[in-house]
Amino acid sequence: MHVAAIIAAGGRGLRVGADRPKQFLDIGGRSILQMSVAALAASPRVSEIVVALPADHLDAESKAIRETVARPVTFVAGGARRQDSVANAFAKTSKAADVILIHDAARPFVTQDVIGRAIDGAQAHGAAIAAIAARDTVKQAGAAAVDGARLVRGTIPRETVFLAQTPQAFRRDVLARALSEGAEIDATDEAMLVERLGVPVHVIEGDARNVKITTPEDLAVARAAALHTAHMRIGIGYDLHTLIAGRPLILAGVRIDFALGLSGHSDADIVCHAVTDAILGAAGAGDIGRMFPDTDAKWKDADSITLLKGAVAKVYDAGYRVSNVDVTVIAQQPKLLPYLDAMRSNLAAALGVQPAAVSIKGKTNEGVDSMGRGESMACHAVALLAAQ
């Protein structure tokens, strides 16, 4: 079955009161949108992803996502309304898609279980939404009086009330009809458009953690949750190579102006190698030598940033994401200060984090041993991973 996932991220999110759309705000080192895209990208059942973005953010944010997500993502400009953004994205999905999954960018904590249940629901019934049952007594009230008070009109049986979430999933033909025939209707979600067709929409079990970030209070709670509930794991990486003539010196993907380079099977980028080992070690996912053996000719002169991205994908498959890394490069020469910002940016992009989550320091070996004599360079790295 071919599943196309649409992420609705074309809105402005004004109620959160930020200087930019809420989906681009940071939670634990990643934007809300990046977290939502990463959650869908981690699902083996999702075949393709299309993201609808505000037109004026399309170039910058699509670049940021492509740098932090290991699989292809298609981007499209959103529209004036949510359903317009979804329609624009729907037009970019593969005609081979059997099921279309739609998810709000503002729900970054969606789980793989909810994604799977929504897909199964659409496959079985044609239309399904994630929702959670109301827990409190539900009152229907009239219009507000002058003083703001409202009169209760009645009590609604709470067992019949469900709070809709996303993802919502539909067979392709059902969603196509709903978007076409409901173009003149302002709908709060796609299920509302499908309901108008007379097509039954089935409720699948949502998750109380799958909250939508709408207000400043929601954002604060989400940031606290990311900080305090994440399952953390720490890994340590180390690499050392000798310096030789005739090789470029590459550190964190940056070419350093120096007379000597590091020897090695790949580009011998000790920073990337140490960080790769640190994140793989933290996830219990092996090491760089097993993942990219130097006995394999295809890794000859390989770009180590590319290798690091492969390791990040493996870590994500293991259920973890990178929270931050701390790197120490030991070299008598050259001075690395002029290159540190570019090195941090490269590592951050490969790891899927903000540059502020990457620290790189340069140290000498005080003239001691081969590093102190300028015959070699080494790198130590520590990585912190958090459960997704």
Residue 15's pLDDT is what?
Answer: 76
| Buried/exposed 132-146: b ≥16 CB within 10 Å, e otherwise | eeeeeeeeeeeeeee
CATH 3.30.1330.50 domain locations along the chain: 232-387
CA separation for the pair 333, 95 (Å, rounded): 56
Say how many CA atoms lie within 13 Å of 7 toward its Cβ.
30
CA distance 262 to 241: 6
pTM: 0.63
pLDDT of residue 122 exceeding 80: yes
Q: What's the pLDDT at 30? A: 83
34-51 per-position pLDDT tens digit: 999 999 998 989 999 999
Residue 337's CB: how many other CB atoms inside 10 A?
8
- Using CA atoms, how far apart are residues 117 and 75, in angstroms rounded to an integer? 25
pLDDT value for 263:
95
Q: Is 152 helix (H, G, I), strand (E, B) or coil?
A: strand
Rounded Cα–Cα distance for residues 18 and 303 (Å): 38
Q: In the CATH hierarchy, which fold is given to the domain comprising 232-387?
A: 60s Ribosomal Protein L30; Chain: A; (3.30.1330)
pLDDT for the residue numbered 189: 94
If one counts every other C-beta atom within 10 angstroms of the C-beta of residue 279, the result is 28
Element (H, E) at 128: strand 127-133
What is the spatial distance between Cα 58 and Cα 76, in angstroms, rounded to a whole number? 7
pLDDT tens across 181-213, in order?
Answer: 998 889 999 999 999 999 999 999 999 999 999
Percentage of residues in the chain with pLDDT exceeding 90? Answer: 76
* Highest-pLDDT range among 225-234, 296-305, 359-368: 359-368
Share of the chain above pLDDT 70, in %: 98
pLDDT one-digit tens code per residue, 272-285:
999 999 999 999 99
Residue 230 has pLDDT above 60, yes or no: no
Distances (CA, A) of 141 to 144, 150, 188, 346: 9, 6, 20, 55
pLDDT value at 229 more than 70: no
Query: What does pLDDT average to over the chain?
Result: 92
pLDDT of residue 54: 93
Tokens 């994908």 belong to residue: 313
All CATH 3.90.550.10 domain ranges of the chain, comma separated, are 3-228
Provide CATH code, domain 3-228: 3.90.550.10
Strands in 201-287 per DSSP E: 202-205, 232-245, 249-251, 254-256, 260-262
More confident residue, 14 or 115: 115
In which band, very low, low, confident or very high, does the pLDDT at 172 lie, cut at 50, 70 and 90?
very high
- pLDDT tens-digit map of 48-97: 999 999 999 999 888 888 877 878 899 999 999 999 999 999 999 999 99
Q: Does residue 170 surpass a pLDDT of 70?
A: yes
